[in-house]
Amino acid sequence: MMLTLAQAGEGTFWFPAQAAENAAKVDDLFYFVLYVSVFFFLLIMTILSIFVIRYRRREGVEPEKSPSHNTVLEIVWSVIPTALVVYMFYTGFTGYLEKRTPPTGAYEIGVTAQKWSWNFTYPNGHTTNVLHVPVGVETQMVMTSEDVIHSFFVPAFREKMDVLPGRYTKAWFTPTLVGTYDLFCAEYCGTAHSEMITKVVVHPQDGPDSFENWLREDSDFLTKLSPVEGGKKVYQLRGCGQCHSLDGTSGNGPSFKGAWGTERTLADGPKVVFDENYVRESILMPKAKVLAGYEPVMPTFQGRIKDEEITALIAFLKSLQQ
**Which residues contribute to the site for Cu ion (CB under 5 A)?**
150, 185, 189, 196
SS3 category, 266: strand
Angle at CA of residue 294, ends 293 and 298, nearest 5°: 160
How would you label 197-207 residue by residue, b for 16+ Cβ within 10 Å and e otherwise? ebbbbbbbeee
Q: How far does Cα 17 stand from its chain's mean position?
A: 17
| C-alpha–C-alpha distance, residues 236 and 242, integer Å | 9
Query: Within 13 Å, how many C-alpha atoms sit on residue 85's CB side?
Result: 7
| C-alpha–C-alpha distance, residues 285 and 302, integer Å | 7
Stretch that binds ligand HEC, among 122-130, 170-178, 198-206, 237-245 (CB under 6 A): 237-245
At 181, which helix (H) or strand (E)? strand 179-185
Minimum distance from residue 310 beta carbon to ligand HEC (Å)? 8
**291 touches ligand HEC by CB under 6 A:** yes
Stretch that binds ligand HEC, among 1-9, 48-56, 163-171, 279-287 (CB under 6 A): 279-287
The answer to whether the bond into 116 is cis (omega within 30° of 0) is yes
| C-alpha–C-alpha distance, residues 203 and 198, integer Å | 16
Total residues in contact with ligand HEC, by rule CB under 6 A: 27
**174 touches ligand HEC by CB under 6 A:** no
**314 touches ligand HEC by CB under 6 A:** no
Which one of residues 99, 158, 232, 238 is an interface residue with ligand HEC (CB under 6 A)?
A: 238
**245 touches ligand HEC by CB under 6 A:** no
Which one of residues 121, 210, 213, 242 is an interface residue with ligand HEC (CB under 6 A)?
A: 242
**290 touches ligand HEC by CB under 6 A:** yes
At 37, which helix (H) or strand (E)? helix 23-54
Residues 101-130, one symbol each (x = binds ligand HEC by CB under 6 A, - = not), give --------------x---------------
The one of ligand HEC, Cu ion, none whose footprint includes residue 301, by CB under 5 to 8 A per kind, is ligand HEC
Cβ atoms 143, 161 nearer than 8 A: yes
Cβ atoms 156, 148 nearer than 8 A: no
Which one of residues 253, 260, 315, 318 is an interface residue with ligand HEC (CB under 6 A)?
A: 253
Residues 58-97, one symbol each (x = binds ligand HEC by CB under 6 A, - = not), give ----------------------------------------
In the sheet with 150-154, reading across from the earlier edge strand, the strands are 131-134, 197-203, 179-185, 150-154, 159-163
The one of Cu ion, ligand HEC, none whose footprint includes residue 185, by CB under 5 to 8 A per kind, is Cu ion
Q: 38 or 267: whose CB is closer to ligand HEC?
A: 267
Q: 34 or 297: whose CB is closer to ligand HEC?
A: 297
Instruction: Please report, as ranges, the residues that interact with ligand HEC according to CB under 6 A.
Output: 115, 238-240, 242-244, 252-254, 259, 264, 274, 279, 282-283, 286, 290-291, 294-299, 301, 313
